Amino acid sequence: MTKNSNNFIGLHDFFSNPSLLDYEEDSEFLEWYSIEGSERINELSRQLRSFLNYKSAIIRFRFSESREIDNTLKKDSIMKRESELSSLFSRYVTLLKIIGVEEGIVAEKILILIEKVKAQPNDFEINLLKELKCLGGEIWKILHIFSEFEIHYHPQLLNIAIKIAVILCSAEGAFFSLFSDFYGELKQSYLKLKGELSSLLRLNEEDKFKAKKKKRLVRIIE
């Protein structure tokens, strides 16, 4: 396995491969390990904050009377990020299809490809995994930015963001097996948010339908 291909497999392989432990006194390796570990902890912390922000957004959506946002600048900012998210995720889905991912088996397909590349390295599949991992990181950043907006004013976008987070959790658990339990729990938490939001959206549509029906009746009476 080449040095470059080790980069996307995750920290778990440094613990599971005894030969790599021989470098524990190498200052360059220790510096890389320290940076990688620190960055991963920061990323996990940010992803947890994103989840808590989305959970808060659903609560605010549930009790918010207004469904429209007045700040044009915020609208433009959200629309710009939404376009960026759409572009990145479209490419992400394309890559998942290339490796044969079907609904519900994201992690399994990525793990199979990682094992294949470890046994028989080739540039195409190595670059495919690298791009998937890199795109996932970029999408996580946008999801975090969305979570800090007043996204409860945009329930459909909130719904999309949560659905994407579910898929990313599966992929991250495969790329970083040392943190697979964390991502497994995070995925389940997002699935609960998804179910909760779906119920709220359905109720919201029913309320809108009743309001329109009542308005039509008033007009008929007049």
pLDDT in tens, 64-120: 765 444 455 467 778 888 999 999 999 999 999 999 987 668 999 999 999 999 999
Q: Within 13 A of 122's CA, how many CA atoms are on the CB side?
A: 5
Gap between the Cα atoms of 162 and 90, Å rounded? 16
What pTM does this model have?
A: 0.75
Question: Does residue 92 contact residue 135 with C-beta atoms inside 8 Å?
Answer: yes
Number of other residues whose CB lies within 10 A of the CB of residue 147 = 23
Tens-digit pLDDT profile for residues 207-220: 565 555 555 544 55
